Amino acid sequence: MSKLEAIRFTLMPFGVLAVFCATILGFDAFTQLAGLWYEPVTGFMAAIVVVVTGYIFAPKYKIVFAVIWFFIGAVIAWDLLIDAHYPEKFGRNYAYYPTYIPLAMTYLGGAIGLVICYRVESKRREKEMN
């Protein structure tokens, strides 16, 4: 392993964490301005960003690391969102009732992130073969 690869592997968790935090903060502001439900939108986007950032940082085995970051994110999302509730603005029939929508949207975002990584990797490999 070269020095550059070792540095990239070392910096990967910090880069993923930094991009995750920036995404959470940015989409918190966006959802408040747009009047959207915070957890599903932010979780969806944060999951995409985490998986793609892990893919970008990995000097080797990019798809493997994208999958690893997907599963790390899935465990963290489970811990953070398993007790999610509908917000107050959903009215008396739904407000404060438990829901899995934020968790499902976060998992969907991670899966879409994996698809994005796979497509990029496929095109990169196709280019190398030509």
Give residues with Cβ within 8 angstroms of 97, minimum separation 6. 85, 86
Half-sphere exposure of 23 (CA within 13 A, CB side): 21
pLDDT digits (tens, 9 = 90+) for 8-64: 999 999 999 999 999 999 999 999 999 999 999 999 999 999 999 999 999 999 999
pLDDT digits (tens, 9 = 90+) for 96-113: 899 999 999 999 999 999
Tokens linked to 105: 């949207």
Whole-structure pTM value? 0.92
**Total domain count for the chain?**
1
The boundaries of the domain holding residue 122 are 3-129
